[in-house]
Structures are given as structure tokens and as C-alpha cells.
Amino acid sequence: MSQIPPRSSHLALSRRSLLRTGAAAAAASLLPVRGLLAQTPLVIGAIYVGPRDDFGWNQSHAAAMDILRDVPGVTVVEEENVAETNAVTQTMESMINLEGANLILATSFGYYSPFVVDLASKYPEVQFRHCAPLWNPETDPVNAGSYFSYLNQAHYVNGVAAGLSSPTGLLGFVAAKPVQTVLSNVNSFLLGARSVNPDAMVRVIFTGEWSMPVREAEATNALIDAGCDVIGCHVDGPKVVIETAEGRGVRSCGHNADLSPLAPNGFITGAESKWETVYTSYAAALAAGEAPPNMISGGYHNDMLRNTAFGAGATAEAVAAAEAAIAGLKAGTPIYAGPLNDNRGNQVIAGTLDNYAPELESMDYLLDGIIGSTT
């Protein structure tokens, strides 16, 4: 399992509101679920650590809930800006006792223990699922569980498109912290770029925080000043990164949500988790009278990822290569084909690894070709 640190734990409980309305987008893939749910009322609650329209992590889940909201028989309740404190316990109990929630989706890392674990024990008739690979079948309640995606696969596609859209081959990356999930995305971004441009380089700057707009703007400007002509990113809400790059006339790649409206001239594509695949499967299981799976994980092969629609910053050659890369990932083409060295000269991968290989879960290095340091 990957080690995923707390997301945006600094965000204050500034606003709490149950949201019952919102835009709904029907998806053709939901038609089988519609039939199952036609006569089955379900209440599904989603809890976000920040605002649901943050152009980032929270918005990625909220967009999926908007799709689920359109399924007949399903009632969606949401609460945003819920801190990773006892506040999440209060929110979950409110959803259960006042809204009649059958299923709680807790989307922030710090919600799990002790909050989700304790509430799952207290309410065994309610299902709880948490977005991080933390559920332990030996110790945790059977009505709890986890789900997560291998977003590095979509960052690999970002890198392919960036490598062919960059005039210089020098790419920049604004990153939060040098932990496994972030390092995996940076390294995959490099390997995607080098798959189409062997001379491509990535310069990375770590801001040290999951959400720090001032530092993210400073890092973006510093990378551009150093000659980077495409900027990728992994921070909770990369709105500032994309807007800063666009303002400097530099291309960009997104992370978590559709950021294309922020960069009409330079946006290339973005890495997104497709949470609606998980959420509609949960609803279908409940409608069938079954408990949802305790653990769901995946990537392109099981429809848990997508890349944002290509923007004006992507060249035609880049679009074609990125689409081919997606097809390859769906078919199992490996991203990490060794031997590979880190950027300090040490061999870190000897052979070829499957895209879900456990060795990748302990990644603590930057690959050769990346300018930057984990310390």
C-alpha cells in the first residue's frame, strides 16, 4: 500500500453546508445502474476537506457525485470544508441520523482513523468507504473499506503530451511534498516525456505544503524563469499553477480536475481519477442488496482514470501519441522498464515492472533526468 500523507489538513472549518442540488450529468455508462435503482431509495453522503469547486482534489469527487446524483433512486448529500477532526464525526452522524445515509464516502486521508473506524463500529448497518488504501481486513470493521487510483498512469500520459508540445524539452513540475505518491507522478511524467523525446528533462520544485498558493505561484514563476516551457503539477488545488503558467504564455498539464477553463491558450491535458466508476458501482451493489467491495483500486485498465480533454496547448502529434499511450496502458504496457537510475547515479529499477508492482509503492527517489532533490 502506498503511504499517502494528510491532504490539506490545514484547511479550516470555514463553512459547512449540506448541498442537495447541483448540476447533473447523465452518463451512458450508468444506464444499467438506473435499472437497478429505479425502485430502491439510497442516500449517499460525501464529505470534503475543502470547497467542492477547488479545481482540485475535492472537485474531482464532487464531479463524480454530480453524476451519481442523476441516478434515479439515489439521493446525494454533501458537506464541504470539514476539518480532519471531530468535525467529521459530527458530519457523518448528521448524515446518518438526519439524512438516513446508507453509505458515507469520506474523501480526505485524515478522516479514516479514528473517525471512520469508530463510526463504522457504532453504526454496523451503514457502509463507510474512505479514499486511501488504509482499510485493514484484520482489524477494521467489515462495513468500512478503501478505494484509490494509480494516478501516475495519467501523469505518464501528461508527460507524453508535454514532451511533444514542448519546443525545448525542458519541463517543469510544481510538487507538494517528496512522498511516494508525488514522486511516482513526477517520475511517470518524466518517463512519458522521454518515451517520445529521449532528451527531455524535468525540473521539479517542492513547495512543502499540499495547498500553499503563494509558494505555488513562486515555484511556477521560478521554473519558467529557468527555461521550462511546460508546467506539470501535483498539489491539492493547482488553480494558481495553471493560471500563472497561462499568464506567462507557458503551456501546462493539470492534476485532479478539469483545469482547461483556466488556460484557454496553453492547457495540454490533465491527470484525473474517474471516481464515478467507483461510486456508481457502490450504488449498484447496495441496490442489489449487497455490501460494496471493501477495497477497489486501479487505473486505466479498469476505467478508474482519464486524461482531461486536450486543450489548445497540445500539438496534433502530442494528441496522437497521448491517445496511443492510453491505449497501451489499458493493454498493460509498463511505464517502468529498467534498468533505471535515480538522479544520484544509483540503479533503482533493474528490470521491467508491472504498473501495479509493489516495488513502486516504496518509491523514494527521483529518476535520472529530473533536476531536483527529495531532501
Q: Which three cell numbers stand for residue 187?
A: 517520475
pLDDT at 276 over 70: yes
Tell whether 256 is covered by a domain.
yes
Q: For residues 250 and 367, state if they share a domain.
A: yes
Mean of all residue pLDDT scores within the chain:
90
pTM of the full structure:
0.88
Helix axes 180-196, 316-331, angle to 10 degrees: 120
Residue that finishes a domain, picked among 149, 181, 209: 149
User: Is residue 129 domain-shared with residue 160, that is, in the same domain?
Assistant: no
For residue 80, being part of any structural domain is answered with yes
Same domain, 86 and 139: yes
Q: Are residues 330 and 183 in the same domain?
A: yes
Tell me what pLDDT residue 149 has: 97
How does residue 41 score in pLDDT terms, banded at 50, 70 and 90? confident
Do 192 and 131 fall within a single domain? Answer: no
Among the residue ranges 22-31, 56-65, 295-304, the one predicted with the least confidence is: 22-31
Question: What digits encode the pLDDT tens for the residues 356-371?
Answer: 999 999 999 999 999 9
* Cα separation, 189 vs 199, whole angstroms: 14
Q: What is the CATH number of the domain that holds 210?
A: 3.40.50.2300
Report the pLDDT averaged over residues 276-282: 96
d(CA 235, CA 206) in angstroms, rounded, equals: 10
* 31 band by pLDDT with thresholds 50, 70 and 90: very low
Q: What tens digit of pLDDT does each residue of 65-97 get?
A: 999 998 889 999 999 999 999 999 999 999 999
9, 110 contact by CB (below 8 A)? yes
- Residues 318 and 189 occupy one common structural domain: yes
132 in the same domain as 198: no
Q: Which of 103, 132, 149 is the last residue of a domain?
A: 149
pLDDT value at 30 more than 70 = no
Q: Which three cell numbers stand for residue 170?
A: 525542458
* Three-state secondary structure of 43-66: EEEEECCCCCCCCCHHHHHHHHHH
Domain extent at residue 82: 42-149
Encode pLDDT of 144-192 as tens digits.
Answer: 999 999 999 999 999 999 999 999 999 999 999 999 999 999 999 999 9
Domain count, the chain: 2
pLDDT at 40: 60
Q: What confidence score (pLDDT) does residue 36 get?
A: 43
